[in-house]
Amino acid sequence: MTKLISKWNYPTTVRFGAGRIKELPDALAFAGIKRPLFVTDPGLAKLPVVASTLKILDDAKIPYAVFSDVKANPVGSNLDAGVAAFKKGKHDGVIAFGGGSGLDLGKLVAFQAGQTRPVWDFEDIGDWWTRANSDAIAPIVAVPTTAGTGSEVGRAGVLTNEATHTKKIIFHPKLLPAIVIADPELTVGMPSFITVGTGMDALAHCLEAYSAPGFHPMADGIALEGMRLVFENLPKAAANGKDVTARANMMAAAAMGAAAFQKGLGAIHSLSHPIGALYDTHHGMTNGVFMPYVLAFNRPAIEERIARAAAYLGIKGGFDGFAKAILKLRKDLKVPHTLPDLVKGLKMDARRKAEIAVMAVADPSTGGNPVKLTRKAALALLDNTIAGKL
């Protein structure tokens, strides 16, 4: 019984269902926000889904401003600009609207606007989060428009340090939004590439959380059901973007993956983060590329556990059957099989590979991997993912 010790946390209030974006004014009132800064990405800002959402705010006579200077992989300068906009407009809260980039940056703007220390001082290391002035963190209402990252129910945000080209995970309990509006109708216009990429991100979250060592049976159960939802609904959502039922199930799977990975992540994310920081690749799609290679690497520690998952998912053949199902899902959804398939014209010399291996081992996700990730192992995984060797 001495090993059955853990700490469990669960998401905030989520208003889930088609059409619930209409409740945004009420959600803002619930969070105590009267003058929100609406944070989203530049591509989304031009689409009707943002225009229709802003009309809801206009009709409710809620004053707001829009900030959309956000890269696909947000960087420190994006945060600086967002904080400046927040202060200039005298805002009292944030609407974080979009996929992972808009959600993460919106949350970090609400967090950093009241701090005096650099954001890098709050990286997810030990108790660094206690350095923050909790009372100065503005409230957040999160509205996801993709189904993958799960950032809407998370207590962290990912930000790239431009000086070091490394992705950092910034953590604080109050980065958890006060309320979430999860309306699957907002994801209907999502392109197939983004649908697949974000879906693979949700699957990676569930798979790595389920595989992580430690005692967290509730996270395991959530991750397992999340995987089922992805296997059954991601192909449907990718094939027919207007399938609201499939979209809703994927949105649920995304939130489930983020709730589950409080147990831990692993080498899929450890390797994906430096690739995304250095080559500006889509995070979820990069996770999808690394997934089968890391699964094979972790086999000695998780074979029996994955066999149980396969049985629950209705996949025959235990671990091997599950691994084949992952490969089939990737192939059917046109997920790149190798890194050169993902990054066209990829050239990676020994020095760059060594740099990525060091970054992967240092990544906060590494601690949750069921097999210790050494620099040698990270290099081998990188080489296998470049060559397509399983």
Q: Top-level CATH class of 13-187?
A: alpha beta
pLDDT at residue 166, as a whole number = 86
Q: What is the mean pLDDT of residues 328-345?
A: 97
Site of tokens 């020095």: 351
Distance of alpha carbon 119 from alpha carbon 115, whole angstroms? 8
**Average pLDDT in the 70-80 region?**
94
pLDDT above 50 (res 117): yes
Fold of 192-387: Dehydroquinate synthase-like, alpha domain (1.20.1090)
Contact yes or no for 162/211 (Cβ under 8 A):
no
Question: Pick from 42, 156, 165: which is nearest to 107 by CA?
Answer: 156
Partnered with residue 288 across adjacent β-strands are: none
- Delimit the domains of the chain by residue range: 13-187, 192-387
Q: Output phi, psi for 179, to 5 deg.
A: -155, 150
Task: Supply the pLDDT for residue 181.
Answer: 97
- CA 192 to chain centroid, in Å, comes to 18
Number of H helices, E strands in the chain: 14, 8
pLDDT band of 22, cuts 50, 70, 90: very high
Phi and psi, residue 107, nearest 5°: -60, -40
Question: What are the pLDDT digits (tens) for 33-69?
Answer: 999 999 999 999 999 999 999 999 999 999 999 999 9
User: Given this model, what pLDDT does residue 84 score?
Assistant: 98
Q: What percent of the chain has pLDDT over 70?
A: 99
Mean pLDDT to the nearest integer, 200-213: 98
